[in-house]
């Protein structure tokens, strides 16, 4: 059967237009989802000096020390505003904690701790997922801050629960439900059967392509 070349061209154009529409819709969804979440979430972001094994190990030690220092304070916070106040109040102390770890490993890297608006990729915490977008974050920058980074969520507190088995423990989900609205929790509760799951998977794929 002979296929008209104009039909082939038209079909190709329609496929391209459909693909562009899917990409646009997915990116728009991510933006709208993160906009709904961002005012009630504070992320935690630690950037290593480089990708060397030594610097990556140092990053993890700094992360653990800062988290250990802040946990008793943030454990008392019942709102994003209270968490922000505690982070700002302790920002110099967090920097001192991080600097002590760095110097104890015989490194002379500068350390900077800041509260900033940061672009984050889509990130899973076990079976909970946060869409890509700009979020407020407490950041610890070590040296050149050009190595692979680590992040979690300081409020609601997901930094202090273990999601390594692929499912966020019950206490982590309870904290989320307590501190997020129903609409916000519906977005991040990835374990539920819902159409968001397909969109998030497509969004992760798009991030890999675009990056």
Kindly state whether residue 119 falls inside one of the protein's structural domains: yes
Q: Which helix (H) or strand (E) holds 190?
A: none
Kindly state whether residue 30 falls inside one of the protein's structural domains: no
Q: State whether residue 123 is helix, strand or coil.
A: strand
| Number of structural domains found in the chain | 1
Q: Which of 40, 51, 18, 30 is nearest to 196 (CA)?
A: 30
Q: For residue 185, give its domain range.
A: 36-210
Residue 12 near residue 110 (C-beta atoms within 8 A): no
Residue-level pLDDT at 101: 97
Chain-centre distance of CA 192, in angstroms? 20
- Owner of token pair 């980074």: 149
| Cα separation, 26 vs 32, whole angstroms | 10
| Cα separation, 204 vs 191, whole angstroms | 16
pLDDT by residue for the chain (211 residues), tens digit each? 445 655 556 555 555 644 444 444 444 445 555 556 778 889 899 999 999 999 999 999 999 999 999 988 988 888 889 999 999 999 999 999 999 999 999 999 999 999 999 888 877 776 677 777 888 999 999 999 998 888 788 888 777 665 454 555 556 677 777 777 676 676 667 544 454 454 555 555 445 544 5
Does pTM surpass 0.85?
no
Residue 77 near residue 87 (C-beta atoms within 8 A): no
| Cα separation, 108 vs 1, whole angstroms | 73
Alpha-helical runs (H) found in the chain = 5-38, 53-74, 80-89, 91-104, 170-179, 182-188, 196-210
Kindly state whether residue 129 falls inside one of the protein's structural domains: yes
Residue 116 near residue 88 (C-beta atoms within 8 A): no
Distant-in-sequence, close-in-space partners of 48: CB < 8 Å, separation ≥ 6: 55, 56, 58, 59, 142, 143, 145, 146, 147, 148, 149, 150
């Amino acid at each position: 059967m002979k296929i008209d070349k104009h039909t082939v061209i038209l079909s190709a154009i329609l496929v391209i237009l459909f693909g562009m529409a899917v990409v646009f819709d997915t990116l728009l969804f991510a933006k709208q989802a993160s906009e709904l979440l961002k005012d009630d979430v504070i992320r935690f972001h630690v950037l290593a000096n480089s990708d060397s094994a030594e610097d990556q190990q140092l990053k993890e030690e700094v992360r653990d020390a800062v988290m250990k220092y802040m946990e008793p304070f943030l454990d008392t916070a019942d709102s994003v505003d209270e968490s922000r106040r505690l982070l700002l109040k302790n920002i110099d102390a967090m920097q001192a904690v991080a600097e002590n770890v760095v110097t104890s490993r015989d490194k002379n890297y500068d350390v900077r701790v800041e509260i900033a608006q940061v672009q984050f990729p889509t990130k899973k915490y076990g079976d909970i997922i946060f869409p890509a977008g700009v979020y407020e974050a407490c950041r610890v920058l070590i040296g050149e801050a050009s190595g692979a980074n680590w992040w979690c969520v300081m409020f609601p507190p997901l930094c202090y629960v273990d999601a390594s088995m692929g499912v966020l423990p019950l206490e982590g989900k309870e904290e989320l439900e307590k501190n997020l609205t129903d609409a916000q929790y519906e977005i991040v509760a990835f374990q539920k059967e819902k159409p968001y799951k397909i969109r998030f998977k497509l969004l992760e794929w798009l991030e890999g392509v675009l990056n």
